[in-house]
Amino acid sequence: MPASGGLSRSTLNAQLGTKSQISSIVAASLMLIVILWFGPLLYDLPTCVLSAIVAIALRPMFRQFLQLQQLWKTSIYDFLIWVVTFMVTIAWDVSEGLICAIGFALLTVIIRVQYPQTAQQAKIGDTDVYRDYHRYVSQSIIPHVLIYRFDAPLLFLNCDLFISRGVELVEKTNAELRGLKDAKKELYTKFLILESAAITNLDNMGAEALKKFVVGLKKTFNVQLLVASSTAQFQQMCYACEIYAVIPKSMFFPTIHDAILYTSEEHAIEKDGEGKRRILYGVQDPGIQLDPGPRPYMFKGDRSPSLIHRNFSWPFIHPSHSKIQKFF
């Protein structure tokens, strides 16, 4: 019994737009009629004519070679899958080619997860949008802040790469500042914002790597990690893996811009002293007098920390942030 249909017949079905296996019943019925009644009429038909019919039916399949140029431009992985499938099918058979194609495609998925894209984000022009620093011309780097984007689930396959790329980003930035004669101490990295929008999943080893990354940043570089744009699934995994014991919930922000506002606020407090820190967070100190002058810590477009935290219902905003409005 035949295990599968002919390649030319499958190609013809695809061209005709068939949706189910009923087309095979129709094709088999026609073949039965030809074999039983019309076979003798085709006895004297030259074999080359039959070969020409098959070749014409396979013409759209040969045109798929034109896709190679487009695949090479768009995705090297899709290009390699096409080439490997073609070579194995030519060397062995359709069944072996299909099996090798599935196995090689799964291998490319593993490679893409193990070696994902990472990037340093920067502010684009006079906007609240943050994109890849190396892909845009009109961008600005915020002093003492780095934005680290990781474009893959954080799993055991790539957790070491996650740590090494983040540490490399901090080391490279600080090394460039040390090379400048007029570089101020306050320009050195103090905050690293992790854009976790692409981290859609997190396993146990990835969680341990994230904890190790946070502790290492604080111990080695005195850098605090903030998490921005995290998904609900990522937050649930953080809760299950007890990451909140290392990264407080107040360090999770809905957007990168909210995290930037927090770093600017903390940087201003650090420069002005601990006294204003107590006032800012609603701790009344009789020995400290409020300044009747202009309201401090205001940002462009009147987007003060009080307005941001008051109007955005984010579940992980620190409770003390709601007291900021008392100062203003």
Structural contact between residues 162 and 154, judged by C-beta atoms closer than 8 angstroms = yes
Rounded CA separation 302/297 (Å):
10
CB atoms within 10 A of CB 187: 15
Q: Which two tokens stand for residue 284?
A: 């009344």
User: How many domains are contained in the chain?
Assistant: 2
Same domain, 136 and 226: yes
In the chain, what are the helix, strand and coil shares in percent, each to the nearest 5? 60, 10, 30
Pair 57, 189 in one domain:
no
Contact by Cβ (8 Å): 155, 221: no
On whether the CB atoms of residues 189 and 143 are closer than 8 A, the answer is: no
| Cβ–Cβ under 8 Å, residues 268 and 297 | yes
What's the pLDDT at 313? 38
Q: What is the pLDDT along the chain (328 residues), one digit of tens a residue?
A: 444 566 667 767 777 778 787 888 888 888 888 888 887 887 778 888 878 877 787 777 778 888 898 999 999 999 999 999 999 988 988 888 889 999 999 999 999 999 999 999 988 888 888 988 888 876 777 888 999 999 999 999 999 999 999 999 999 988 887 766 555 665 678 999 999 999 999 999 999 999 999 999 999 999 999 999 999 999 999 999 999 999 999 999 999 999 999 998 876 666 555 444 443 433 333 333 333 333 333 333 333 333 333 333 344 334 434 333 332 2
Range of the domain at 66: 47-114
Residue 246 lies inside a defined structural domain of this protein: yes
Tell whether 209 is covered by a domain: yes
In a domain, 286, yes or no: no
CATH code, 125? 3.30.750.24
Is residue 321 a part of any domain in this protein? no
Give me the pLDDT at residue 303, please: 39
Determine the pLDDT at residue 17: 77
123, 130 contact by CB (below 8 A): yes
Whose CA is closest to 315, among 258, 231, 226, 254?
254
Q: What is the pTM of this model?
A: 0.67
Give the pairing type, strands 145-150 and 118-124. Answer: antiparallel
Is beta strand 191-195 parallel, antiparallel or unpaired with respect to 145-150? Answer: parallel
Domain boundary among 114, 130, 147: 114
The confidence score (pLDDT) of residue 271 equals: 58
User: Do residues 135 and 267 both lie within one domain?
Assistant: yes
Q: What is the pLDDT, as a whole number, of residue 23?
A: 81
Q: Are 124 and 136 in contact (CB under 8 A)?
A: yes
Residue 164 amino acid letter: S
Residue 120's SS3 state is: strand
Tell me, what's the pLDDT at 316? 39
> 100 and 155: one domain?
no
* Radius of gyration (C-alpha) of the chain in whole angstroms: 31
Question: Could you say which of 254, 277, 300 is where a domain stops?
Answer: 277
231 CB burial (10 A radius; 0-12, 13-18, 19+) = middle
Do 137 and 206 fall within a single domain?
yes
| Cross-strand pairs, 228 | 195, 253
User: Is 303 contained in some domain?
Assistant: no
Give the end of a domain, one of 277, 304, 319.
Answer: 277
